[in-house]
Amino acid sequence: MVRREDSMARLMQITTPLAEDVLLFQRLHVYEELSRPFEHQLTLLSAQKDINLDDVLGKPVSVQLGIPKGKFRYFSGYVSRFAQSGMVGRYYRYTATSRPWLWFLSRTADCRIFQEMTVPDIIKQVFADHPTADFELKLSASYHKWNYCVQYRETDFNFVSRLMEQEGIYYYFRHDKGRHTMVLVDSTSAHSPYGDYGTIPYVVPERVRRTDQEYIDSWEISREIQPGVYAQDDFDFERPSAVLLTKKNVSRKHNEADYEIYDFPGEYLQKADGDHYAAVRMDELSTQFEIANAATNARGLCVGATFTLSDQTRDDQNREYLVLGANYDLEFSAYEGLSDPNPGTYQCSFRAMTTQQQFRPARTTPKPHVTGPQTAVVVGPAGDEIYTDKYGRVKVQFPWDRYGKKNENSSCWMRVSHPWAGKNWGMIAIPRIGQEVIVDFLEGDPDEPIITGRVYNAEQMPPYALPANMTQTGTKTRSTKGGDPSNFNEIRFE
């Protein structure tokens, strides 16, 4: 039987899919950050030399850490990697990496189209495909419906990440025994202190401290020059003269504070949406303006929680903060048979920002770029031969869209290029259902398709037999509905 020093053993314990004490906790390194999947690096000991790795891989584990008043906090996740790596004393050493259920979304990729949905609704639909998903929405803003939003050759994780970054939605994880919950938020008001850690005092490192006291003993505050203005613009073909330029600025007192970021397109069609996105982008930049880096022995300091700093030597630092990220190191090695037993240590370094500034995640997830034109087939309602709107737009079925039903709901309306396009004059020929068209994408954006041409294929052959009639040039129409080879008009040159 394994013997441990009882008091500290109760503070640091692990629960695994195996029987109790088959795997013993030795060390945990944790990195957690707002809007990033956490990573828990575990070192475990066992008297068993041949644990089946598959008995642990992909299954939940929880590390229990004791906090004051007989309570516990947890670090929970799913084992994404499990390995055996030598011996420590008379024990076999195993290492494990624990990650959130969200990380599983990086293991699957897809191509699919979402229409007339808000970003929160898209996220919920993606999460619904994953049985391990455990999440909570604490959103206070209103979100507009995206007419057309494409997941194109990207993982589910990258897809939902870039959508959240675009909208200014971010997340943290709430850990409980045996589970963890992803909490999606968009406002500082959605955060609160963890347990009894609403206020944490600062203690000068040289000052004598009580052994049972929890405190912050390292505090560095820094500011870094950021742009002071964010401006963006866009274009709406249904309102080509509309002014959609939006701008957001912040006033700071230091020198060189007024640099401007300008971007196009801003990915919006309504000025109110542009104003919202400009404010989100400005918050994103301002998030990096003032950051506190600190260290603490407070075992209840959690990423995503708020706390008030007290007793700092700079009075302007004694205010409320949001914990942005943290590194935790836990170790317990007081097991029989180890030559260098550790009765238990806990260390934490963290980053924080004042709650007076709204946090926004950095846009680090790239949007897929379509590197060239594609072909697609024109679609519409059953029984129709031509399906269009007042702009001459049509809908298509992409060959990569395995969920599309090849009908009027398969895509958004797409504009069609014509040789001439003037004000009530020009040339027009609406692509008909079943025809293959060439689709390009404005700035390579999969959300911005435009039809630039048409091509023949084995089901849609040229009007003249080739190569026998290769010297003929002309235009041949087909009557609709129900036209056949005898119902046409034609201009032909030999």
CATH number for the domain spanning 442: value is 2.40.50.230
Show which of 258, 286, 314 is a domain's final residue.
286
Domain of residue 403, residue span: 369-461
Give the C-alpha separation, 64 to 71, whole Å: 10
HEC profile of 12-68:
EEEECCCCCCCCEEEEEEEEEECCEEEEEEEEEEECCCCCCHHHCCCCEEEEEEEEC
pLDDT of residue 344: 80
**Within the chain, which residues score under 50 in pLDDT?**
1-6
Tell whether 447 and 469 lie within a shared domain. no
58: left (phi over 0), alpha (psi -120 to 50) or beta: left
Kindly report each contact of residues 203-209 with a partner whose C-beta sits within 8 Å and lies 24 or more positions away, as own/partner.
203/311, 204/313
HSE-CB at 76 with a 13 A cutoff on CA atoms is 19
Its pTM surpasses 0.75: yes
How many structural domains are present in the chain? Answer: 4
Give the C-alpha separation, 11 to 64, whole Å: 7
Using alpha carbons, select from 481, 431, 478 the residue that is nearest to residue 456: 431
Crossing angle, helix 156-167 and helix 119-127, to 10 degrees?
Answer: 160
Tell whether 437 and 388 lie within a shared domain. yes
pLDDT of residue 6: 46
Tell whether 254 and 273 lie within a shared domain. yes
Give domain status of residue 172, yes or no.
no
Q: Is there a contact between 233 and 266 (Cβ–Cβ < 8 Å)?
A: yes
Tell whether 476 and 449 lie within a shared domain. no
Give domain status of residue 394, yes or no.
yes
Tell whether 490 and 452 lie within a shared domain. no
Residue 334 belongs to domain with CATH number: 2.30.110.50
Tens of pLDDT, residue by residue over 179-191, are: 999 999 999 999 9
Tell whether 36 and 84 lie within a shared domain. yes
Residue 238 belongs to domain with CATH number: 4.10.220.110
Tell whether 434 and 375 lie within a shared domain. yes
Tell whether 449 and 403 lie within a shared domain. yes
Structure tokens at 362: 């950095």
Give the C-alpha separation, 18 to 211, whole Å: 35
Give domain status of residue 388, yes or no.
yes
Tell whether 457 and 467 lie within a shared domain. no
Give domain status of residue 314, yes or no.
no
Give domain status of residue 44, yes or no.
yes
Q: Is there a contact between 118 and 139 (Cβ–Cβ < 8 Å)?
A: no
Tell whether 83 and 96 lie within a shared domain. yes
Q: Is there a contact between 56 and 359 (Cβ–Cβ < 8 Å)?
A: no
Using alpha carbons, select from 425, 207, 192 the residue that is nearest to residue 323: 192
Tell whether 29 and 53 lie within a shared domain. yes
User: 3-state DSSP call for residue 419?
Assistant: coil
Tell whether 275 and 334 lie within a shared domain. no
User: 3-state DSSP call for residue 11?
Assistant: helix
Structure tokens at 304: 């995503």
Give domain status of residue 179, yes or no.
no
Give domain status of residue 89, yes or no.
yes
> Which one-letter amino acid corresponds to residue 194?
Y
Q: Is there a contact between 164 and 184 (Cβ–Cβ < 8 Å)?
A: yes
Could you give the angle at the alpha carbon of 368 between the alpha carbons of 454 and 161, nearest 5°?
Answer: 140
Give domain status of residue 481, yes or no.
yes
Structure tokens at 420: 């001439």
pLDDT of residue 4: 47
- Dmax over CA atoms of the chain, in Å, equals 102
